[in-house]
Amino acid sequence: MCMNSGRRYDNYTKESKLNIKKIVAIIIAIIVIVMIVIMIKRLLTSKKEESIPTDSSYYVSFKDYKWGVIDSRGKSVINPSYQELIVIPNKKKDVFLCTYNVDYETGEYKTKAINSKNEEIFKDYDQVEPVANYDESQNVWYDDQVIRVKKNEKYGLIDLDGNQIIPIEYDEITAVSGKENQIQLKKGEETKIVNSQGKDIISTDDTNQPENSESTNTTSTPEEGNTPEAQTTSPNGEVFEEDKKYGIKDKDDRVQIPARYNSITYNNDINAYIAETDDYKSSIIDNNLEERITGILLDIDNDKQYIKMRVDDEYKYYDFNLQEQPTSTFFPSNTLFLKKQDGKYGFVDKDGNVVINYQYDDATEQNEDGFAGVKKDGKWGSIDSNGKVVIEPTYNLDNYLQVDFIGVWHKGLDLNMNYYSQE
């Protein structure tokens, strides 16, 4: 009996060991499957994060004396590799216009359009170029709806999806200087002006001026050897010149604003004058000829209808009635809001809770891509929409008229070229 008992015990032990091995093997298999699933999920998530979002914006980048393109997260879309400036007519469209093989002696060059996948597009044309425009100060901007194309020595217009707007039959196509979305077409002796949709505005045969032919802004600036006449720029006032400075008189010819400004512009959008001095400061003067706001004018946004000023080392926002408003009025989706306390800048959330302590010597408001610039010990860096430091204060931007960041990239020195750099 003892032997039988022993055999039964031995058999039980052996079977138990086999069962344990099976259980361990199953557990290991399950763990391996779980790990594989996690790895696949992470890989897919990583690929998703690395893909360019459909609502991304695009910006010109500059590094090591070469030009490229970044997206709204600061990720390189086109690595800086072009010798000439890349033009992005519309930051919401992945259409990038490149110039290459430039012969500076003959003036000959080649152009092409590429997309965010670095694929050449609009290849049926000899040239694809932006429609450039200039204001009175020779600042350049580009039509954001159309591109000028050339084939067989004739010009036409296409939109940013490649659809033909104007047939390729014109001798010359140029922007109407200082007029937004107005384009001049020339064919032989015929000249006409169209908008960005190709609709006629005016031609050489028209006797009436187009309804929108009047300039939005009227500016008086001194010219050497020429004294401009007083110019009516609002219902209640006239700009006058005295010793190469400008002021404003009322309708009864009484001086209301002394001649102490370098230039005075009337802006129809805000129904007010913008009077500029030689220290980059501007005064906003209302239709009652009262100076309402004085500081550094940073932006007038017609879409959101705000005026952004730097007043006494603080960034302030005003509506088009010249009333100061909290930042959240114009940027309700922002996660961070700039605030100053005890001479230092920090950031709070929409409820006023401190997210980033008051530690910076200067800072910028969060931009539309979620980044803000921060300055400490004379250097600038950036933070993201969560308040996380993207790049520690590294850049000396004292000579820059505008500080703005996209990731680790900061706005370039030449605002006229509208690019972001790591220099």
Question: Is residue 246 within 8 Å of residue 264, measured between CB atoms?
Answer: yes
Tokens 């370039």 correspond to 412
Tell me how far CA of residue 277 lies from CA of 135, 246, 265, 283, 343, in angstroms.
19, 10, 12, 8, 27
pTM over 0.85: no
For 380-400, what is the mean pLDDT? Answer: 96
- Identify whether residues 41 and 87 lie together within a single domain: no
- Full DSSP string of 378-420: TEEEEE-TTS-EEEEEEE--TT-S---EETTEEE-S-GGG-EE
The answer to whether residue 211 is domain-embedded is: no
Pairwise pLDDT comparison (165 vs 4), residue with the higher score: 165
Whether 333 and 321 map to the same domain: the answer is: no
End of a domain among 291, 325, 359? 325
Domain span at residue 66 reads 58-203
Is 208 among the domain residues?
A: no
Give a yes or no: residue 392 inside a domain. yes
H-run or E-run covering 43 = helix 2-50
Task: Tell whether 209 is covered by a domain.
Answer: no
102-111 pLDDT, tens digit per residue, is 999 999 999 9
What number of H helices and E strands is found in the chain? 2, 36
User: Do residue 240 and residue 172 come from a single domain?
Assistant: no
- Torsion angle, alpha carbons of 361, 364, 369, 370, to 10: 50
Shared domain for 227 and 307, answered yes or no, is yes
Domain final position from 168, 203, 238: 203
Q: Categorize the per-residue pLDDT at 52 as very low, low, confident or very high, splitting at 50, 70 and 90.
A: very low
Mean pLDDT, rounded, for 149-171: 97
Contacts of 119 (CB under 8 A, 6+ apart): none
pLDDT tens per residue across span 296-354: 998 999 999 999 999 988 889 999 999 999 999 999 999 999 999 999 999 999 999 99
Same domain flag for 72 and 199: yes
Question: What was the pLDDT predicted at 98?
Answer: 98
pLDDT class of 391 with cuts at 50, 70, 90: very high
Q: Is the pLDDT of residue 14 over 60?
A: no
Q: Is residue 199 in a domain?
A: yes
Q: Tell me, yes or no, whether 294 lies in a domain.
A: yes
Residues 199 and 225 grouped into a single domain = no
- Token pair, residue 50, equals 């690395």
Beta bridge mates, 68: 61
Q: Which three-class secondary structure state does DSSP give residue 7? A: helix
Token couple for 316 = 């302030």
Does the pLDDT value for residue 70 go beyond 70? yes
User: What does pLDDT average to over the chain?
Assistant: 85
Residues 66, 174: one domain? Answer: yes
81-97 burial: b if 16+ Cβ within 10 Å, else e: ebeeebbbbbbebbbbb
- Residue bearing the bigger pLDDT, 320 or 203: 320
Do 30 and 104 sit in the same domain of this protein?
no
Q: Given the structure tokens 């007043």, which residue do they identify?
A: 311
306-327 as b/e: b if 16+ CB within 10 A: bbbbeeeeebbbbebebeeeeb
Looking at the structure, do residues 120 and 254 belong to the same domain, yes or no?
A: no
Q: How many domains would you assign to the chain? A: 4
Same domain, 236 and 199: no
Name 414's Cβ contacts closer than 8 Å, sequence gap at least 6. none
Q: Note whether residue 162 is domain-resident.
A: yes
Comparing 65-79, 200-214, 403-417, the range with the smallest average pLDDT is 200-214
* End-of-domain residue from the set 266, 292, 325: 325
- On whether residue 283 sits in a domain, the answer given is yes
Q: What is the pLDDT of residue 45?
A: 47
Same domain, 225 and 289: yes
Are residues 304 and 333 located together in one domain of the fold? no
Q: Give me the half-sphere count of Cα atoms (radius 13 Å) on the Cβ side of residue 203.
A: 8
